[in-house]
Amino acid sequence: MKKLGLMVCTNSSIDYLNFDFDVTIIRSMVIMGSKEYIDYEELTAQEFYDMIEKDPTIIPRTAMASTGTMVEAYEKLRDSGCDTIIFVTISSKMSGIYENAVLAKKMVEGVDIHVFDSKSVGYIESAMVFKAHEGYKNGKSIEEIIKDLEYIRDNNKIYFAVNDLKFLIKNGRLSNAAGFMANMLKIKPLLEIDKSGAVVSIEKIRTFSRAVDRVIEKFMEETKDKSVEAFIIHANNPETTKYIRAKVLELRPELGEIKDYLLTPAVGAHSGPGAITIGYILNK
């Protein structure tokens, strides 16, 4: 491997992180009523959440990048001298981006392309990109780098709570029947991303505040006696972020720093404003 090209989808929220190397970001479209925006480039997270707050009737939708866009990105990296490419995508259970990326790969010659299904979303994808870059700089082979990504994929967990189910329901992330019943009962379910990369409901809870407390409790149960990198991901919810961080560090001060990351519009369109997670990556 002479030169490694790195790609990631917009759902990683990598735009909001600091890094000093080149990453090609494949961006989704965010559809707000009759208008379309390129995620981050034309609509940032803060602008997105402000728009929903001003008009709660808006139900945003998303559209993924075309196969042709991915082909062009592969070819551009190849033509810049990359002989190997790693493309980290959102879970294939949440979006068709992975399948599109694999299809695009078959249309490009002259470069070794690895499409990696993160089986997750948000910071987990970014962490994989950072790990891949670190491995490349340290002279690791592509096989070793992929094993590092597989470790992160297989050794992380995310629990989350949403304040309004209508966004998940309208965008097809929960079945209409399940969503209807949840709304009727005013349920704020405790959700997780399971090992297959699917969003599943694991507990039915009556209030958002209780759901947040259960997110913390599940995190504490899962990480007991483990060395982990903990993180919080939120959809413009700084107050609950502060609450979760304080509660967790009160119980686990040895964690030191718990960073928080914003959900980009392409993900916030499905979670809705206020959604919040706490997750971890198991340290080796």
Comparing 21-25, 78-82, 171-175, 253-257, the range with the smallest average pLDDT is 171-175
Do 162 and 253 have their domain in common? yes
Of 39 and 187, the one with more pLDDT? 39
Q: In terms of DSSP bridges, do strands 4-9 and 84-89 run parallel, antiparallel, or are they unpaired?
A: parallel
Do 197 and 117 have their domain in common? no
Confidence class for position 169, pLDDT limits 50, 70, 90: low
CB atoms within 10 A of CB 130: 18
pLDDT of residue 187: 78
Instruction: Give me the domain span that covers residue 138.
Output: 4-28+64-154
Do 97 and 147 have their domain in common? yes
Residue 43: inside a domain = no
Do 185 and 220 have their domain in common? yes
Picking from 154, 169, 204, the residue at the C-terminal end of a domain is 154
Residue 40: inside a domain = no
Do 102 and 238 have their domain in common? no
Q: Given strand 156-161, what is the order of strands in its sheet? A: 199-203, 190-193, 156-161, 276-282, 228-234, 259-262
Do 213 and 119 have their domain in common? no
Confidence class for position 163, pLDDT limits 50, 70, 90: confident
Residue 46: inside a domain = no
Convert the pLDDT of each residue in 178-198 to its tens digit.
555 555 457 788 889 999 998
Do 19 and 129 have their domain in common? yes
Convert the pLDDT of each residue in 194-216 to its tens digit.
999 988 888 888 899 999 999 99
Give the C-alpha separation, 207 to 202, whole Å. 15
Comparing 113-117, 160-164, 246-250, the range with the smallest average pLDDT is 160-164
Residue 111: inside a domain = yes
Do 174 and 260 have their domain in common? yes
**CATH code where residue 237 lies:** 3.30.1180.10
What would you report as the CA-atom Rg of the chain, rounded to the nearest whole angstrom?
19
pLDDT of residue 164: 79
Give the C-alpha separation, 105 to 71, whole Å. 7
Picking from 154, 172, 207, the residue at the C-terminal end of a domain is 154
Residue 260: inside a domain = yes
Residue 56 has pLDDT above 90, yes or no: no
Residue 37 has pLDDT above 60, yes or no: yes
pLDDT of residue 189: 82
Q: Taking all residues of the chain, what is their mean pLDDT, rounded to a whole number?
A: 93
Task: Give me the residue label for tokens 């409790």.
Answer: 217
User: Is the Cα dihedral 93, 165, 12, 107 positive or negative?
Assistant: positive
Residue 225 has pLDDT above 60, yes or no: yes
Picking from 154, 178, 201, the residue at the C-terminal end of a domain is 154
Residue 56: inside a domain = no
Do 184 and 274 have their domain in common? yes
pLDDT of residue 166: 74
pLDDT of residue 167: 77
pLDDT of residue 203: 87
pLDDT of residue 176: 44
**CATH code where residue 89 lies:** 3.40.50.10440
Residue 117: inside a domain = yes
Do 133 and 234 have their domain in common? no
Do 112 and 237 have their domain in common? no
Residue 222: inside a domain = yes
pLDDT of residue 165: 74
Q: What is the SS3 assignment for 175? A: coil
Of the chain, the percentage scoring pLDDT greater than 90 comes to: 82
pLDDT of residue 185: 54
Do 197 and 133 have their domain in common? no
Give the C-alpha separation, 116 to 160, whole Å. 24
Give the C-alpha separation, 210 to 141, whole Å. 46
| Domain count along the chain | 2
